[in-house]
Amino acid sequence: MSKTVLITGCSSGFGKLAAKTFQAKGWNVIATMRSPQKETELTQLENIWVTRLDVTDQASIDATVQQGIEKYGAIDVLVNNAGYGGHAMLEQFTDEQTLAMFETNVFGLMRCCRAVLPHMRQRRNGSIINVTSMAGYLGLPLSSTYSASKYAVEGFTQALAHEYKPFNVKIRAIAPGAFGTNFSANTDNNFENGDDETRAFAQKVGAHFQALAQQMREQGGEVADPQEVADLIYTCATVNEMPVHNVVGADAKMLLGMKNSMNQQEFIDQMEAMLIPN
């Protein structure tokens, strides 16, 4: 019998690619998104049920999980992919914007876990895969709010992995580097907020980042293929021995390799020299 995966945030990016990857491997896919009425591609594929789930709306999560189990008999894997970024200094984010990011990236993800865990625990079978970020390992300037949300999920994942191992429910995190999805377009940038000094500093750091990215492109840095992330999600769902924490993308592997090769303060000093313009 085919297995079933529920994926959040399937309207674009990693979520959509993951839905197509599982479908191509013969899985039943519950491809969830906030606006399913707009979807034209996944709805054409067999064994994909496109349905509305907003991770900030508990009723939509409960209804999807209940109907998914009725429809397919079980949910074997949950992929918590829905999320968005934010670039600006902390002072440029309002409290509402900060809470909104945590509502989606952290509390929404926790809600989805809470909704499927009784089912997985009782079956003594299941996997949850949380899409985090390299920002969940590194504090980058202009990413304090986003980084805090992704660090939270990395810690949550590790704790949950311990809690549910005795029940044969596997919990994993995948931390991507930078990939060309709709992520940048959906990022909550607040460079216009704040006082003159804050705005000027944020713009200067932002411009420096862009110059660094351009320099890396000119040095022949490969364009990262988001399918790599979808493939790793599938591997985490199907290979028993995968670690709790997984990193994907040449940039993330390079920076985390650096982080692991030196003491914490040395790493922070090197990052500062690279990321903060004079």
Q: How far is the CB of 122 from ligand NAP (least distance, A)?
A: 26
> Which residue of the chain is nearest ligand NAP when measured via CB?
13
Which residue's CB is nearer to ligand NAP, number 194 or number 247? 247
Which residue out of 137, 146, 151, 234 is catalytically annotated?
Answer: 146
The CB-of-35 to ligand NAP minimum distance in angstroms stands at 6
Residue with tokens 């990413």: 143
CB nearer to ligand NAP: give 64 or 194: 64
Minimal distance, residue 124 CB to ligand NAP, in Å: 29
Q: Which is nearer to ligand NAP, 179 or 234 (CB)?
A: 179
Tell me the C-alpha distance between 271 and 138, whole Å.
9
Binding site for ligand NAP (CB under 6 A): 8-9, 11-15, 33-35, 54-56, 81-85, 104, 108, 131, 133, 176, 178-179, 181-183, 186
Q: Is 137 a catalytic residue?
A: no
> Least distance (Å) from ligand NAP to the CB of residue 263?
26
In the bound state with ligand NAP, the residue whose beta carbon lies nearer, of 54 and 154, is 54
The closest of 64, 32, 27 to 46, measured between CA atoms, is 27
Residue with tokens 């968005």: 84
Question: Which long-range CB contacts under 8 A does 189-192 form with residues at least 24 apart?
Answer: 189/86, 189/87, 189/88, 190/86, 190/87, 190/88, 190/92, 190/93, 190/97, 191/87, 191/88, 191/92
Strands (E), the chain: 4-7, 28-33, 48-52, 77-80, 86-87, 126-131, 169-176, 188-189, 245-248
Sequence letter at residue 66: Q
* Catalytic site positions: 146
